[in-house]
Every structure is written in structure tokens, then in C-alpha cells.
Amino acid sequence: MGDSGQGHDPIARFVELFERAKSDEPFDATVIALATSTPSGQPSVRIVLLKRVDERGFAFFTNYGSRKARELDANPRAAFTCYWPASQRQTRVEGTVERLPADESDAYFASRPRGSQLAALASRQSEPLESQSALMSRYLKLQWQHGEDQIERPEFWGGFLLVPERIEFWRNGQYRLHKRVAYVRDGDGWTETRLYP
Ligand SMILES: Cc1cc2nc3c(=O)[nH]c(=O)nc-3n(C[C@H](O)[C@H](O)[C@H](O)COP(=O)(O)O)c2cc1C
């Protein structure tokens, strides 16, 4: 099926391209631009890291009190795009978002370096911060409080799963005749459509 997807499963196709990008790209291929929006339709976008992809969808981790999380609580729809310059590919994903099961967030949190765990605990992500030194003192206080103890995942931090409804693969082509193939969820399968560039 060449560039138009592996079989008719665009998630499997994404995984194949993602694995290749992780080894071939000169920078971090897990970087994605994630868009959320308020119920009234004001979009916002920021970079997060795509940490896991499986047949359910696309997972990233964040603070559940952050602006993005508050937007997702109110309007559980999101989109992301990633660009892999070495392979000249862009992929766009849109769908609905749910929280990852707690045990999966626990497992991911436990796998993080201790400094990142403490930083997640210290940050009230997206809230106003009076000074950088206030953040550092929160961090140092938590470091002191935890000593050598294992750090549990706080309830305010965890994963989201973006369950895709639409996935589009774009590949740079000669004369700007780029290849675009969109997959839209259709019952248990996907409808595949080529698009003008
Ligand atoms: C390379 C890079 C990776 C990032 N990865 C994450 C991430 O995985 N999770 C996260 O919450 N924020 C991540 N951030 C920070 C976000 O871009 C953003 O500043 C933060 O999540 C707050 O966004 P919000 O106020 O819209 O919720 C990353 C930023 C950069 C530049």
C-alpha cells in the first residue's frame, strides 16, 4: 500500500513512522504541538511529548490542573501535529481525549528521573508564579521532605489518551505536489481518502 498507510490501520502506520523518526531524526521526534480549546472555541496550542502510542491512541502526560487539562475537562477534544524534517513528514491527529487509567500514570511517573518527579510535585502548572525563586524553594522543600523516600505520583499529575477520529499523513513531494492521505474512523475501521496538497 506504499505511502497511503499500512493495511488500513493508520495507528499502526503512525507507530512505524514514529519508530523510524525516533532513530533517524536529529532532534526529539516525540515533540508534538497539541491543540485544545475552550467550549466557546478559543484554541490554544503548546508543545508536549508524545510518550506512548498503541491501538487505543496517543498518550501524553501533564498536570491535571494546567490550562490544557482544564480546557480538556470542559471540552474533551484535541488535535496535534508533528513534523519530522529528516523524512519530510507531517502527521495530524484529531479526536477525543480521556484520562489514562491511574495505574498507567503511576507506572510512567515511577519511570521518571527523581528530579522530574519532584519538579512535577513542585509545579502548579499554568498558575501565576510570583518569582522563580519561589518555585525553587518549593522544589527544595519537597526534596528535603521526601529524603530518600519513593515519590508517589500526585493525583494532580498524569496522562491523557487522545483517541483518534482522524489521522492525516503528509509527505513532502516534488514541485509542492505533496502526498496527503487522510483516515477517518468508520465503525471498526477507517475510510482512507487522498487529498489535494
Ligand atoms: C520540548 C518541550 C516538551 C514539553 N513537554 C511537555 C509535556 O510532556 N507535558 C507538559 O505538560 N508540558 C510540556 N512542555 C511544556 C508545555 O509546552 C507548556 O508550557 C505547559 O504544559 C503548560 O501549558 P498549558 O498552560 O497550556 O497547560 C514541554 C515544552 C517543550 C518546549
Q: Is 51 in the pocket of ligand 1 (CB under 6 A)?
A: no
Instruction: Extract long-range pairs of 119-123: CB within 8 Å, 24+ residues apart.
Output: 120/63, 120/154, 120/157, 121/151, 121/154, 121/157, 123/63
Read off the pLDDT of residues 142-189 as tens digits, 9 standing for 90 and up: 999 999 999 999 999 999 999 999 999 999 998 888 999 999 999 999
Q: Which residue in 22, 84, 89, 91 sits closest to 52, CA to CA?
A: 22
Name the residue among 84, 89, 90, 92 with its Cα closest to residue 25: 84
175-181: Cβ within 8 A, 24+ apart = 179/3, 179/4, 181/3, 181/4, 181/5
pLDDT of residue 54: 97
User: pLDDT tens digits for 91-116?
Assistant: 999 999 999 999 999 999 999 999 99
Nearest CA among 116, 99, 125 for reference residue 153: 116
What are the residue boundaries of the structural domains of the chain, listed by start? 2-113+155-195
d(CA 87, CA 196): 20
One of 1.20.1540.10, 2.60.40.350, 2.30.110.10, 3.40.50.1100 is the CATH number of 2-113+155-195, namely 2.30.110.10
What predicted TM-score, i.e. pTM, was given to this entire model? 0.95
Ligand 1 pocket check for 37: Cβ under 6 Å: no
99 is annotated as an active-site residue: no
Question: Is 77 in contact with 26 (CB distance < 8 Å)?
Answer: no
**Smallest CA separation from ligand 1 atom 11, residue:** 62
What ligand 1 atom has the least distance to the C-alpha of 44?
A: 26
Q: Which one of 176, 180, 185, 194 is the catalytic residue?
A: 176
Between vectors from CA 134 to CA 129 and to CA 135, what angle results, nearest 5°? Answer: 75
Cα 79 from Cα 85, distance rounded (Å): 20
* Mean pLDDT within 70-89: 97
Q: What is the CA radius of gyration of the chain?
A: 19
Q: What is the pLDDT of residues 186-197, one digit of tens each?
A: 999 999 999 999
Give the residue, out of 25, 45, 48, with the most ligand 1 atoms within 8 A of its beta carbon, to mutate for a pocket test: 48
